Structure 1
Amino acid sequence: DRASTITTIFTGANPAYHGITGENRFILKENREIPAFSDNNYAGNFTTERYSPLPVKVSTLADELKIASGGQSDVFAFAPHASQALASGGHAASGAYWVEDMTGNWATTAFYKTRQPIVDQHNRTPESLSKKIGSITWRPAIDISNYKAFPYTKNLYNFQHYFGVDKKNHVRLLKQSPYVNTEVREIAEKVLKSSSLGKRQNPDFLALTFYAGNFENSLDKNYSVEVQDTYYRLDQEIEKLLEAIDSAVGLQNTLIFVVSTGYFNEQEIHPSDMVTSGGDFYPDRSIALLNMYLMAIYGREQWVSKYYSQQLFFNRKLIEDRKINFVEFQQKAAEFLVQSAGIQDVITSHQMLHGAYNQRVQHYRNGFYKGISGDLYLELQPGWKVVVENDLNNNVRVRDNAVHAPVIFFGNNIKPQRINRVIDATEIAPSVSHRLRIRAPNAAQANILEELF
């Protein structure tokens, strides 16, 4: 998802190394879900939420720039969400800010020792999102007849979304609109000017995250007019940003890379009369059946503690107290579950850490982090729908195909060319590091992109 992907981009490593396996993680001892970047040791600024970048277990691209410059380079990150700002800003940022979910203010964490007066001042002005969100209405930027990207758009309509109605969700909804990109670009330009970025001996670093995904209140979901309007407006925002950078320091003195996470909130809806080969997978029912099976072997206890995001967590303390061989226990559970309808394969944590890999298992291993991930990982068959009873927000249909996304490098005398090959996200950070003549992040093992040099 957005947290694991952005962390991978800026560390040049997979979650197995950097530790951010998703936007949230499950704490088994406390039986609760928390944000991946949650850290109670650090208070928030303009937010009650407590976060830090410490859950990222390796260095980032921005960290290495700070090290190389002896702390002289400025690093700023601005994003709609905390995970995006903290992953891109890293451990030594001059500032990492996100749009607070309730107020719309630019928020940060006390982990970062320096405060940026220009950001705090902006939060207190009438131009801040918290002050003006009640007057924002999203309408098409141009005549909707120009939006022809999707032949599947059924509702070509002059939409109108007013963000002042739903006081509880208005910021969350605005963060799914192009207006959050305007907020990111405008605050970045203010910091670019006030901090004189790019005008000293050492390079400075500015990481911006924009949104170009679905809007949940649109009529057509995946193929909406709103998505097309978002891209049209995003193009304008990037143009304004590049003009500001060119005016401040010159694009020839700037290295820019643009990359997508390849992730978005899927809103796929099947026609009501469509019959598919897939079905519904109910995790709670599978857990109940598995626990009955384990009771027959090991005794009447609650052996399965939790299902979370296609993972199963076992009652480790109970298993240890009963002196049960945990590897054997996992294997028996896996052999039982793999017979269930909708389950393609079951991979144990022992296989992840110690087993003989094949290419498919290696992909899951890349997203596994010991101490955070579960004891079993369930690979569901494509087309099946995960139905979490009493939690409709987590009902998703399984797709195994990745969303391919472009990566663009330009500025800094890079030779113009179009390269038609698939690269790995882990190749970006070491390539940018090489271009900056600094060390790659300490867990980055991929080769650099030779076309850049």
Structure 2
Amino acid sequence: MKSGKYIPFLLGATAALHCAAAPATPAPQRPSLAVNIVLSGIPYDFFSRYEANLTEDGFRKFMREGTVFTESRYEYMPTNSVSSLATLTTGAYPSVHGVVGRQWCDVLTGQTVSLIDDPAATGFDCEFGEGCYSGALLTTPTLGDRLRRDYPESKVISIAADPASAIVMAGLGTEAYWLNPRTACWTSSSDYMLYLPGWVTNFNEQYKNNSYFSNWFWVLCKDEMRYRNRRISYIQPEHEGRFRRMEAIKALPGMTAEGRFPRVSATPLASDMVADFVRQAVLQERLGDDDTPDLLNICFDAPRRVIAHYGPESVEAEDMFYQLDRTIALLIRFIEQETNGRVVFVLTTDHGCSDSYDAYALQADRFNGIQFRTIINSFLCAQYGGEAWVTGYFGRRLYINRNEAFSRGLSLDDVQRRASDFALQFRGIARVVPSCDLRSGAASDRYLQRLRNGYYQKRSGDLLVDLEPGLIEERTGVRADTGSAFEYDIHVPLMVMGYGIPAGVSDEEVDMTSVAVTLARLLGISQPDASSALPIRALTEAGTKR
């Protein structure tokens, strides 16, 4: 706790004698710490499906003591982790905050742009050229940025294993920490600080000397009879006959670097590593122990990797959820003990996921995005001449070479519509919308409005592709995926617990842009600059009664 907080007994007694008639100073009505906890990729139904096996102090504590929202959704497409984290922290859609994915094509040059790569930044304790990340391409202030503007002494910290997750949550001017995959140590970059704080360096030294990386092995945390799922790939159960062995797919999704962390990035150990560091951040930075409001953003990326790699129907996904429940229970208990008690916790996810493509053998095929890009390019070449009409395809967004169109005096709108009409012939595609249709006119239905909410003109490309329900793109190491505007992707859990929050279940329809606005209201600050969302009534109306 901060020094100087406690008044010596005699001084306090003397002051009490002189000021006996003075009215008592009212206790602050706002939380001193808000904690955003994002469980990346956890489907909405996991909490009810596995509730019987949860601990009392983890997710059940949220269900018992907090407000549980049953109708919370991300009202845009495509859904992905970085877009949703930006929405949670800015209170705006991708059409406003501009985070459409981890990569996109520059509309002028056709070159691929990475959301966080920045050669001008220097990663701490990294090999030369590694860890050069920053938020330079982020355009929209977050809740944390707003808090620091209103209260410069406030502390705002964002923590995640994935650098993109931490950086997006941190916004334009607050602190971010992530894991160096090569060393499995916590790091940041020169975009956020001049050097790593001493407590981070000391923490990393302890991890370097810890041998549990080599000793750790994934075993089931509960009796085998209690598991609902039967598909198993990696874990070696005691009674093999209870489970259906699935062929393990090679490579973990999104992890290409060598080093200590990639081996455990899709295991419960990765979540424990995040929680360990969060505890140190709370302790060393003294978050929430005075009347100045602080903000802590946490993203657990491991669940997304486990579910994508093994599938939501797997024993690995189920066991990961149970171990995460235990991890969250210990973390919440620690934060409550180390702070002054005026803490608000938000528990949610950044998106859901599809079923595994091979789960029920209804459709064991997947959509080949590389092939799609190649064929669209060939079609446009045949129609208009030239050789390089398509500059990129990322996350259901296809980019057309605009220089080819302009140099031939062609209307870009006409090229987009012709490519869109041709693309509908592909098996597995449900809808293709040219961006020219999103730039003009009102949305004709809620589905089209979701596409428009996810469209950022400078970055979203020329064709937005949506696949048939349940169909996913073919990617290395991926069994289940996200990205659609269907319920399994956009409908997410949302639970809020803590200081001044009532217990109960609410069926209020919640647009996830409202989370940042609601926290701003609870913290007594202005809402984030780019947000036009309304606060959640079930929480703000309860707050006025404190």
TM-score, structure 1 normalization: 0.85
Q: Which aligned pairs between 1:52-451 and structure 2 lie closer than 5 A?
A: 52-69=134-151, 71-93=152-174, 95-113=175-193, 115-125=196-206, 127-128=207-208, 132-148=212-228, 150=229, 152-153=230-231, 158=237, 168=258, 170-210=260-300, 211-213=302-304, 215=306, 221-251=311-341, 253-263=342-352, 267-270=356-359, 274=361, 276=363, 281-283=367-369, 285-287=371-373, 289-295=375-381, 297-358=383-444, 359-384=446-471, 386-387=473-474, 392=476, 400-403=486-489, 404-451=491-538
User: 3-state DSSP class of the match of 1:98?
Assistant: strand
Aligned residues: 436
Q: How many angstroms apart in 2 are the aligned matches of 1:318 and 1:402?
A: 38
**Residue pair 1:77, 1:208 contacting (<8 A) in 2 also:** yes
Asked if structure 1 preserves the Cα contact closer than 8 Å seen for 2:84 and 2:350, the reply is: yes
Q: Which residue number in structure 2 is paired with residue 41 of structure 1?
A: 120
Cα drift, residue 242 of structure 1: 2.1
Bigger Cα displacement from structure 2, 303-312 vs 344-353: 303-312
Q: Is the 8 A contact 1:344 1:380 kept in 2?
A: yes
What per-residue deviation string (whole Å, max 9, x for no partner) do you get for residues 368-426 of structure 1?
22222211222333355545xxx645797786333432211121122212113442111
Quick one: distance in 2 between partners of 1:169 and 1:339? 43
Distance 2:315 2:265 in 1: 17
Cα 1:264–1:40, aligned 2, differ >3 Å: closer, same or farther? farther
Compare 9-18 and 362-371 and name the one that shifted more.
362-371
Q: Which has the higher contact order (CA 8 A, sep 6+)?
A: 2
Asked if the contact 1:21–1:367 (Cα under 8 Å) also holds between the matched residues in 2, the reply is yes
TM-score of the pair, normalised by structure 2: 0.72
- How many percent of aligned residue pairs carry the same amino acid? 23
Counterparts of 2:378 and 2:295 in 1: how far apart (Å)?
55
Per-residue CA deviation, residues 265-310 of structure 1 (Å, 9 max, x unaligned), is 8643145xx464x965444555555445444543354333333332
Distance in 1 between residues matched to 2:407 and 2:462, nearest whole Å: 17
| 8 Å CA contact 1:255, 1:410 repeated in 2 | yes
Aligned pair in 2 of structure 1 residues 172, 265: CA closer, same or farther (>3 Å)? farther
Q: Does 1:11 align with 2:90?
A: yes
Q: How far, CA to CA, are the matches of 1:451 and 1:330 in structure 2? A: 44
Q: Which amino acid aligns with 2:384?
A: Y
In the alignment, which of 83, 96, 103 is matched to residue 24 of structure 1? Answer: 103
Question: Structure 1 counterpart of 2:169, which letter?
Answer: S
Q: Residue type matched to 1:64 in 2? A: R
Distance 1:226 1:281, change over 3 A: closer
**Which residue identity does 1:306 align to in structure 2?**
G
CA distance in 1, matches of 2:425, 2:308: 39
2:141 matched to 1:50? no
Aligned-pair Cα RMSD in Å: 3.2
- Decide whether aligned partners of structure 1 residues 193 and 270 sit closer, same or farther in structure 2, where only a CA change above 3 A counts: closer
Q: Structure 1: how far apart are the matches of 2:351 and 2:432? A: 26
Q: What residue identity is the alignment partner of 2:523?
A: L
How many angstroms apart in 2 are the aligned matches of 1:40 and 1:179?
31
Cα distance in 2 for partners of 1:406, 1:384 equals 23
Aligned equivalents of 1:396 and 1:135: distance in 2? 29
In the TM superposition, what whole-angstrom CA distance separates every residue of 1:331-384 from its partner, at most 9, and x where no partner exists?
A: 222233334443333211222222442232221122222222211222333355
Task: Report the CA distance shift for 1:179/1:129 in structure 2 as closer, same or farther (over 3 A).
Answer: farther
SS at match of 2:510: coil
Native 8 Å contact 1:99 1:106 kept in 2:
yes
Relative to 1, partners in 2 of residues 1:287 and 1:177: Cα closer, same or farther, differing over 3 Å?
A: closer
**Which residue in 2 is equivalent to 1:163?**
none
